């Protein structure tokens, strides 16, 4: 199964699960129509029948450049584009950009950039003293961009997505940990 197919399947699964858990109407089932732009900052998809939209991730919430243990002089740019909670799920959208010396770019992926360790991405809730990890689907697969099989190109941005159980409504910000790199503090939870 190709990467694009896996990402589409994971996104569809998350959306169906979110819609079912939140009691949302499915397109064509008599639900109310939506305005051209959703109140959550997403944009309406062209030709959609119902409330379909996509997250506007044009500007990062926070970003940083860190050393990578993959090779001497290797660095990675990590930009957090958004953390959007909907129903019982929250999706973290990130962009990773590797900067690796030319001779070390074979099999470039997030796993290798993190010193041949999984990213272990998590949300840290200081209000309720909880750590949220990526949720799994009914087949036991984590709902995230694959850190090994997602090929990255040196100097080019690759989008990554991670799905978590949504923090409670009273949690306005969380800390985000990706790999062995420093923690991003006070990332807003969009609702």
The predicted structure's pLDDT at residue 58: 74
pTM over 0.85? The answer is no
Higher pLDDT, 84 or 6: 84
Note the pLDDT of residue 149: 95
Question: By the 8 A CB rule, do 87 and 22 touch?
Answer: yes
Considering Cα of 24, then 29, then 34, then 38, what sign does the dihedral take?
positive
Lowest-confidence region among 14-18, 97-101, 183-187: 14-18
Q: What are phi and psi of 175, to 5 degrees?
A: -95, 145
Element (H, E) at 8: helix 3-22
Lowest mean pLDDT among 41-50, 73-82, 124-133: 41-50
C-alpha 44 chain-centroid distance:
20
Of 13-27, 109-123, 140-154, 160-174, the least confident: 13-27
Query: In this structure, what token pair is assigned to residue 21?
Result: 């858990």
Kindly state the average pLDDT of the residues 124-133: 96
CA dihedral 55, 95, 90, 39 (to 10 degrees): -20
Over residues 5-27, mean pLDDT = 47
3-state DSSP call for residue 87? coil
* The pair of three-digit structure tokens given for residue 10, joined into one six-digit string: 């994971």
Bridge partners of 63, per DSSP, are 79
**What backbone phi and psi angles, to 5 degrees, belong to 185?**
-100, 145
**Enclosing H/E stretch for 7:** helix 3-22
């Amino acid at each position: 199964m190709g990467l694009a197919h896996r990402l589409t399947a994971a996104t569809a699964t998350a959306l169906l699960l979110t819609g079912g858990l939140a009691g949302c109407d499915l397109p064509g089932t008599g639900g109310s129509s939506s305005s051209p732009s959703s109140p959550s900052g997403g944009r309406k998809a062209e030709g959609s029948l119902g409330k379909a939209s996509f997250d506007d991730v044009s500007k990062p919430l926070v970003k940083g450049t860190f050393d990578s243990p993959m090779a001497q002089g290797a660095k990675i740019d990590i930009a957090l584009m958004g953390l959007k909670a909907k129903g019982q799920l929250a999706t973290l959208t990130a962009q990773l950009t590797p900067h690796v010396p030319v001779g070390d770019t074979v099999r470039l992926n997030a796993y290798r950039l993190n010193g041949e360790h999984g990213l272990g991405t998590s949300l840290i809730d200081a209000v309720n003293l909880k750590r949220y990890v990526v949720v799994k689907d009914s087949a036991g697969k984590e709902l995230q961009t694959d850190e090994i099989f997602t090929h990255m190109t040196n100097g080019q941005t690759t989008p990554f997505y991670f799905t978590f159980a949504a923090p409670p409504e009273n949690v306005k910000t969380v800390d985000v940990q990706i790999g062995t790199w420093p923690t991003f503090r006070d990332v807003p939870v969009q609702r």
